[in-house]
A and B are shown apart, each in its own frame.
Chain A
Amino acid sequence: MTATAERLSIDDVVATVARGARDADEHAAFPVEALGALRASGLLGLVVPVEHGGGGGGLAEMADVTLRLAREDMSVAMVFSMHCQQALALVRHAGPRLRAEVLPALGRGELYLGSVTTERGKGGSLLVSESEVTADGGLLRVDRDAPIVTGGTHADAYLVTTLAPGATSPTQVSLVYATRDQVAVEVTGEWDPLGMRATCSAPMRLAGSVPEHQVVGEPGGFRDVVATLFGPAAHIGWAAAWLGAAAGALSRVVRLVRSPAGRRQFDTSSELLLTRLARIRARLDATHALLRHTTAVVTTAPDVTAPPVQLLVNALKVQASEQCFDAVHELIDLVGLRHGYLRASPLFLERTFRDLRSASVNYANDRLLLVDGSLALLDQEVRLA
Chain B
Amino acid sequence: MDPGFATLLRPFLKYAGAREITAESRLHELGLDSMQAIELLFAIEDGYGVTLPDDKLVDATFETAGGLWAEVAVLREPTDAP
Contacts and interface: CB of A to CB of B under 8 A. Distances in A.
A binds B: yes
A26 interface: no
A334 to B, nearest CB: 40
Contact of B15 (A171, A377, A380): A171
B35 interface: yes
A310 B34 CA distance: 11
B35 A303 contact: no
Interface string A305-340: 111001000000000000000000000000000000
Nearest to B27: A171
Instruction: Assign chain A's interface to a size class.
Output: 20 to 34
Contacts of B54: 307, 378-381, 383
A127 B33 contact: yes
A223 B29 CA distance: 9
Contacts of B36: 374
A375 B34 contact: yes
A374 B31 contact: no
A220 B36 CA distance: 21
A129 to B, nearest CB: 12
Interface residues of B, number: 19
A171 B38 contact: no
Interface string B1-31: 0000000000000010001000000001111
B58 A303 contact: yes
Contacts of B59: 227, 303, 305
Contacts of A171: 15, 28-31
Contacts of A172: 29
Interface in A328-385: 370-371, 374-375, 377-381, 383
Given A223-B28, A379-B54, A374 B15 contact: no
Contacts, number: 51
Contacts of A310: 34
A183 B59 CA distance: 34
A383 B35 CA distance: 19
Contacts of B43: none
A20 B19 CA distance: 56
Given A227-B59, A303-B58, A380-B54, A169 B34 contact: no
What 10 pairs across the A-B complex have the smallest Cβ distances?
A169-B15, A305-B59, A377-B38, A378-B57, A305-B58, A374-B38, A306-B58, A374-B35, A303-B58, A171-B29
Given A171-B30, A307-B58, A374-B38, 16 more contacts: A168-B15, A170-B15, A171-B15, A171-B28, A171-B29, A171-B31, A303-B59, A305-B59, A306-B57, A306-B58, A310-B34, A374-B34, A375-B34, A378-B38, A380-B54, A381-B54
Interface of B: 15, 19, 28-31, 33-38, 41, 54-55, 57-60
17 contacts: A168-B15, A168-B19, A169-B29, A170-B15, A171-B28, A171-B31, A220-B29, A303-B59, A306-B57, A307-B57, A371-B34, A371-B35, A374-B38, A378-B37, A379-B54, A379-B57, A381-B54
